[in-house]
Chains A and B, each alone.
Chain A
Amino acid sequence: MVLASGSMALATRTERTPSLIGSVWRSTVGKKAVMAVTGVIMLAYLVAHMLGNLKVFFGAGEFNHYGAWIRTIGEPFLHHKWFLWIARVVLGSAVVLHGVAAFQLSRRDLAARPAKYAHARRRASYATRTMRWGGVILALFIVWHILDLTTLTVNPNAEEGRPYENLVASFDRPPVTALYIVAMLALGLHIRHGFWSAAQTLGANSPRRDRLFKVLANALALLLTCGFIAVPVGVMTGVVS
């Protein structure tokens, strides 16, 4: 009795035994980590996607062959197109998780700062301030992009199995090219802040490595934006036709 009372006074909070997924998803830090991980997955995909796109400069044969090959990855272990679908599921989940987490965190963030300052002042960099709207633009673009070049729904001149020709047909429409270029600029800005931010969120950053991550983020943003924009520019200038 005496002992119990004495130790009670010393005891403070009891250890939590949370489920890993639940506790990570519930906390702002954990949810942000989900965004970072999904962001990095999408980024890795984009690097591969961009490199694949550049094959367009080596002619229809090579590009279309590449398109067909993607469907055969993993064979004979995997059935035809299985890899493609696995990748689509992973990427789709990443997009959804990234978006849902962003949405929930944004709502929380806006609620945490209900009153604005009367003396408004420009804060943070452009890339940082445009993450939310940039993200929405990119999400809408992804939908358009899939309808345009994967399902071919909005590409009236397209034919299944001829990606090179479909691509040229799509970019022959100046408004589409303009939309694409704007989206890629938004992507660049998103990556510029997002990559460094992911390093910070996942705890990879430190005062020593901060510069390195910022340089890497800028390099990645520049590389991907230029790499993606090169294709419509190629179509516009007639290098690709």
Chain B
Amino acid sequence: MNLTLRIWRQRTADAAGAMTSYEVSGISEDMSFLEMLDHLNEELILAGDEPVAFDHDCREGICGACGMVINGQAHGPERTTTCQLHMRHFADGDTVDVEPWRAAAFPVVKDLVVDRSAFDRVIGSGGYVSVPTGSAPEAHATPVPKPVADLAFEHAECIGCGACVAACPNGSAMLFTSAKVVHLNALPQGAPERESRVLGMVGAMDAEGFGGCTNTGECATACPKGIPLQSIATMNREFLRASLRGGRGA
């Protein structure tokens, strides 16, 4: 299979970037999208060019490192991570546009690599349970109803890839933030910090320069882990509740 790739090339954070075309031949339909880029990079290196920089690590769809906007869609046409997208979903002769995540809070570092450290700071602002090692009670001391545990799990599945922010026309991190708020606020272990958590995380999210939610639903459509859009409603409720109570605690 042969493809024309148009890839965003940008040498450093401050440099101007541009879409650059590459003709890539000899692509197997069994390749993952990242393997196709590996293939291109091998050719670029031998030709004396700079290979395309992109983030990736586990290549099994769980670490959340990879992510690029392919033909205008975060992670491309399939609902999965870029590393799990295979070339059989493209046709011979296609032109494919590859761009980095775009958001003010995710500045481009180089080519397709962006800085997502804002997510870490959002988590650091309340996305935890304060339980220093050694202070935990016996695990069975607090039974958790299965539906509650399942709800928490479904939201804990978030891999922090940033596709939600990339897909959102407002560069909003509401889906990411709500996934953690719902995960921890649903559990009895998270209850004592229920209010400070949501206030802290929403505050950090705003401070990082993410946009607000206009309920377009693009985030949930792009999410490779299927975090539901309604998590945002739950976070809004938690936020309003905490605000009305003045963040006094549970």
Contact = CB atoms under 8 A, between A and B. Distances in A.
Nearest to A24: B243
9 contacts: A27-B206, A27-B239, A28-B206, A109-B214, A118-B6, A123-B167, A123-B169, A128-B215, A196-B215
Contacts, number: 167
Given A15-B247, A114-B104, A202-B237, A32 B212 contact: yes
Contact of A16 (B69, B199, B213, B229): B199
Nearest to A208: B230
B25 interface: no
Interface in B98-133: 99, 102-105, 125-126, 130, 132
Contacts of B210: 112
A28 B213 contact: yes
Interface of B: 6, 8, 19, 69, 71-73, 97, 99, 102-105, 125-126, 130, 132, 167-172, 174, 196, 199-200, 202-203, 205-206, 209-218, 228-230, 232-241, 243-244, 246-247, 249
A204 B172 contact: no
The majority secondary structure among interface residues of chain B is mixed
Contact of B212 (A17, A109, A115, A131): A109
Contacts of B19: 118
Contacts of B206: 26-28
B102 to A, nearest CB: 5
Interface string A108-147: 1111111111111101100011010000000000000000
Contacts of A116: 102
A130 B238 CA distance: 29
A123 B218 contact: yes
A112 B240 contact: no
B192 to A, nearest CB: 12
Q: Which of A18, A27, A110 has the most CB of B within 10 A?
A: A27
B104 A112 contact: yes
A121 B73 contact: yes
A207 interface: yes
A124 B235 CA distance: 22
A190 to B, nearest CB: 13
A109 B211 contact: yes
Contact of B214 (A27, A197, A205, A206): A197
Nearest to B105: A112
A24 B236 CA distance: 11
Contacts of A151: none
B236 A112 contact: no
A93 interface: no
A210 to B, nearest CB: 6
A98 interface: no
Interface residues of A, number: 51
A121 B73 CA distance: 8
Given A29-B236, A128-B215, A128-B216, A118 B230 contact: no
Contacts of A67: none
A76 interface: no
B200 A113 contact: no
A119 B99 contact: yes
Query: When A and B form their complex, which 9 residue pairs have the shortest distance between CB atoms, in order from nearest?
Result: A203-B237, A112-B211, A121-B72, A28-B212, A109-B170, A119-B97, A112-B171, A205-B233, A113-B171
Given A20-B243, A203-B240, A118 B99 contact: yes
